[in-house]
Structure 1
Amino acid sequence: MTQTVKQSATPTPTRSAKGSTAKAKASPSSSPTTTKASPAATPTAQSTVYVCTENDNGKLVWMTKDDSTKIVAARQEKADKEAADKKAAEEAAAAAEAAEQQRLADEAAAAAAAEAQRVADEQAAAAAAEAQRVADEQARQQYVAPAPAPAAAYYPNCAAAKAAGAAPVRIGQPGYGTHLDRDGDGVGCER
């Protein structure tokens, strides 16, 4: 609502029961002279344009158009800043959530890789143990015991024991003698 009012008088708005604003009645001596602004009317240096604007407390007050424009612009700037801050906070929260999801995915991938490595290591160890067992079994099957020496064998020297296929001769075997075991370790003709 735009009204041209002389600078000397400022009307005070009041709220009616329906919430609309009406001019308070003033004494005739202080009543402002109000005229509707027409497109052809040019404001003079003696007149100021007042507008009714809601203040920070939510009450409607009369103020100059310049002051009203400043207040409305400040409110809009504040609302824009709050919207920008809210948007920035939402984007930061979304970025934090994405980072958390990435961290969880990385942890899951690392755990899966560690489990796969553990399983592979266990399989490799089991395969190596099985290969060793098979090799040992084959070695036992391929072992050919030396031909037993005759029960009443006597070898005068190691050359005779080797020629008979009895070398090395161990203590307790037929043909063992201390003359064949020079170092006394229980194995004769060991070289």
Structure 2
Amino acid sequence: MTWDSNSAPPKRRVSKRWIWWGIAAVALILLVLSGALPGLMILVGIIALILGLVALLANGIKWARIPNRKIGAGVAGAALVLTFAGGALSGTEGTGSPETSLEEPAVAETLQSDLASFVGQPCEFDYQVMTQADANNYCDEDSTGTLLWVDQDTHDRAEADLAAAREVEAEKAAEAKMKSEEAAAVKAKESAAAKKAEIAAEAKKKEEAAASKAKAEAAAKAKAERKAADAQAAKVREQEAASARAAQKAREEQETAKPKIQTFTDSNTYYANCTAVRNAGADPIYSGDPGYSRKLDRDGDGVACE
């Protein structure tokens, strides 16, 4: 498309879409200024959420330009975010601090009258304060839990009583804690003493058992030693008896093998001792020989002056 350079250029036509966007922006600004934005956000969020859920179930809504389930899920998610944001903005606008709450029309009117006339009347929040000049009314609970307006002195006394009650409770709690700690310490001490006594009793029991065991072992050892000694003594005695029997047998064999020499001597031969026998050359003297006597045969084996 061309035009003559000497003529004026054609006017550009504004798109209707931009006009609608401009209108929407102006409406949004007006809503923000009027404080109706949170409600509108909640309304639009609910409508969009319904459309998104329907599109999610029906696989799209053509007239709403939602072609499939995926776009429907996105619309539903965005609608939830928009609804929660509107609710948050609405809650924020509905809250106020104790200072701003007095600017409500009902409270603002009360500031024009005497504060004393409101003492005892109901109030809404325990953080409210009604101020006139240097005087204040406070919204406090009474004994039944009802919120009522009270004057400065009543409020101060209630605060002092509350502080005193808290102090008493703190003292009671500290005393109870101290008693509990003392009881725990006593219990721990008693437990430690009982444990120590138990350990000592166990050690004593072990010592007594060890002493009893050592005594039994010593007695068994002594008994075994006595038994061994008795056996050794019996063995020695048996050996001595065997030796004596062997000697007796050898003497008997020797006497049997010794030729008998008969000598005729005086049967009244007498020797005073073995020295006399040896001097006479008669030793040894056997039983039955002249001069034999038991006095000269001290071991009683039948042979005197061996």
TM-score, normalised by the number of residues in structure 2 = 0.34
Q: Equivalent of 2:220, from 127, 133, 151?
A: 133
Alpha-carbon distance in structure 1 between the residues aligned to 2:213 and 2:163: 74
Q: Which residue of 2 aligns with 1:95?
A: 182
Q: Equivalent of 1:86, from 165, 173, 182?
A: 173
Per-residue CA distance 1:6-48 (angstroms, 9 max, x = gap): 69x52244335x777598xxxxxxxxxx9523xxxxxxxxxxx
Q: Please state which structure has a larger fraction of its residues in strand.
A: 1
Query: Which residues of 2 match residues 109-120 of structure 1 at below 5 A?
Result: 109-120=196-207
Rate the CA distance shift 1:70–1:102 in 2: closer, same or farther, 3 A: same
Q: Which residue of 1 aligns with 2:157?
A: 70
Amino acid at match of 2:199: A
Amino acid at match of 1:80: E
Query: Which residues of 2 match residues 9-20 of structure 1 at below 5 A?
Result: 9-12=116-119, 13-16=121-124
Alpha-carbon distance in structure 1 between the residues aligned to 2:127 and 2:161: 25
Q: Answer yes or no: is the 8 Å Cα contact 1:53–1:62 preserved in 2.
A: yes
Q: Which residue of 1 aligns with 2:137?
A: 51
Amino acid at match of 2:157: K
Alpha-carbon distance in structure 1 between the residues aligned to 2:157 and 2:204: 69
Q: Which residue of 2 aligns with 1:173?
A: none
Alpha-carbon distance in structure 2 between the residues aligned to 1:114 and 1:19: 67
Q: What secondary structure, in the 3-state scheme, does the structure 2 residue paired with 1:51 have?
A: strand
The Cα of 1:112 is off from its aligned counterpart by: 1.9
Alpha-carbon distance in structure 1 between the residues aligned to 2:224 and 2:157: 99
Q: What secondary structure, in the 3-state scheme, does the structure 1 residue paired with 2:118 have?
A: coil
Alpha-carbon distance in structure 1 between the residues aligned to 2:210 and 2:164: 68
Alpha-carbon distance in structure 2 between the residues aligned to 1:63 and 1:19: 11
Q: Equivalent of 2:195, from 105, 108, 122?
A: 108
Alpha-carbon distance in structure 1 between the residues aligned to 2:217 and 2:190: 40
Rate the CA distance shift 1:20–1:139 in 2: closer, same or farther, 3 A: closer
Rate the CA distance shift 1:35–1:74 in 2: closer, same or farther, 3 A: closer
Q: Answer yes or no: is the 8 Å Cα contact 1:10–1:62 preserved in 2.
A: no
Alpha-carbon distance in structure 2 between the residues aligned to 1:64 and 1:20: 14
Q: Equivalent of 1:36, from 126, 133, 140?
A: 133
Rate the CA distance shift 1:128–1:15 in 2: closer, same or farther, 3 A: same
Alpha-carbon distance in structure 2 between the residues aligned to 1:15 and 1:97: 49
Rate the CA distance shift 1:14–1:67 in 2: closer, same or farther, 3 A: closer
The Cα of 1:129 is off from its aligned counterpart by: 1.4
Amino acid at match of 1:103: E
Count of residues in Structure 1 that have an aligned counterpart in Structure 2: 131
Identical-residue share of aligned pairs (%): 20
Alpha-carbon distance in structure 2 between the residues aligned to 1:20 and 1:114: 68
Alpha-carbon distance in structure 1 between the residues aligned to 2:200 and 2:132: 85
The Cα of 1:117 is off from its aligned counterpart by: 1.1
Rate the CA distance shift 1:22–1:14 in 2: closer, same or farther, 3 A: farther
- Extract unaligned runs of 5+ from structure 1: 24-33, 38-48, 152-159, 165-191
